[in-house]
Amino acid sequence: MTILRSLLFNAFFLGGTAVVVLLGVPLGVISALRKDGPADHATRIFAVSGIALPPFWFGLLLQLAFATWMGLLPTSGRLSVFTEPSEPITGLLLVDSLLRGNTALFREALSHIILPAIVLSLPCLASILRVNRSEMVEALRMDYVVAARAHGVTPWRIVMVHALKNAMLPTLAIIGLRWGWMMSSTVLVETVFDWPGIGLYAVSSAIAGDFKPVMGVTLIVGLNFMVANLIVDLLYGVLDPRLRRA
């Protein structure tokens, strides 16, 4: 259990989540507003590629480009092998280094999570973007949008309140699903980036034929998935008053 707890604090998983939430919905909205324009085509091509790119291979490509050829970012691991990690407070290097005021360590930890976070979030981001776009296109065609425009409601308010609130329901469902899947693709990303987390732990145990750690990880990932979907169901009620009574 202690092993699992220490492995669960996965910085790039959190980073990936942040990327997905901050980018997926706005890109979907922009794409829907500029339907069939160049921005729309670009985001759609990006979205389809994001789903089709094998994450393990994309990770290798990024390592080659940004770490080996350009030398901008480190290839793998949580820290460089020469850095002594400090005594953990929360277990998250980013938070620990900030709490201690160690900016050098913070910058190093941050540079190590950039590539894995991108690889991890891409498929998730892509499918949220797709769903959000198609729902926004649908919602912007509705009569209540025409009515709101006729009443002189500002375009910003029409998009953000009238259309987006309705488009968010199916989008939330996908966010819940994909968040759970994202946790399972840490398995691949951790293998590529040699990151000591639960995914790599599960894989090395599975290859060694040690079944108990695999069961533990499966349980945790399943639990995370269920909690995510529970949160989504509760948020449904917040967004849609009709569901509160049911």
Partner 1 sequence: MSAATEETVAAPPRRRLRLAIWLLTRSFSSMLGLFLVTVIVALALAGPWIVPYPEHVQGAIDLANKLQPPSAAHWLGTDEVGNDILTRVIIGARISLLVGIGITVAAAVIGVPLGILAGLAGGRLREVIMRFTDLFLSVPGLVLAIALVAALGPGIMNAMIALILVWWPGYVRLAESKALSIREEPFIEAARVAGASRARILRRHVLPNSLSPLIVKMSMDIGQAILAVASLGFIGLGAKPPTPEWGAMISIARGYLPDWWWYAMAPGVFIYLAVLGFNLLGDGLRDILDPRSNRG
- Helical H runs in 194-210? 198-208
Residue 37 Cβ, how far from partner 1 at the closest point, in Å?
15
Query: Distance (Å, rounded) from C-alpha 121 to C-alpha 29?
Result: 18
Nearest approach in angstroms of CB 103 to partner 1 is: 30
Q: Which residue has the tokens 């910085």?
A: 11
Strands (E) across 115-210 are located at none
Kindly indicate which of the ranges 18-26, 103-111, 143-151, 210-218 contains the residues binding partner 1, using the contact rule CB under 8 A: 210-218
Stretch that binds partner 1, among 4-12, 101-109, 126-134, 157-165 (CB under 8 A): 126-134
CB 54 within 8 A of CB 190: no
Q: Pick one of 4, 184, 231, 232: the residue that binds partner 1 (CB under 8 A).
A: 184
Toward partner 1, which CB reaches closer, 93 or 140? 140
74 binds partner 1 (CB under 8 A): no
Binding residue for partner 1, selected from 94, 113, 163, 217, defined by CB under 8 A:
217
Q: Could you say whether residue 86 binds partner 1 (CB under 8 A)?
A: no
- ∠ at Cα 237 (154, 178), nearest 5°? 90
Neighbours of 147 (CB within 10 A): 12
In one letter, which amino acid is 231?
Answer: I
94 or 182: whose CB is closer to partner 1?
182
- Of 11-19, 102-110, 154-162, 175-183, the segment contacting partner 1 by CB under 8 A is 175-183
Q: Which residues contact 135 (CB under 8 A, 6 or more apart)?
A: 28, 166, 167, 168, 169, 170, 171
CB 122, CB 17: distance < 8 Å:
no
| Residues that bind partner 1 in the complex, under the rule CB under 8 A | 47-49, 51-57, 60-61, 63-64, 68, 127, 130-131, 134-135, 138, 170, 174, 180-181, 183-185, 187-188, 191-192, 202-203, 205-207, 209, 211, 214-215, 217-218, 221-222, 225-226
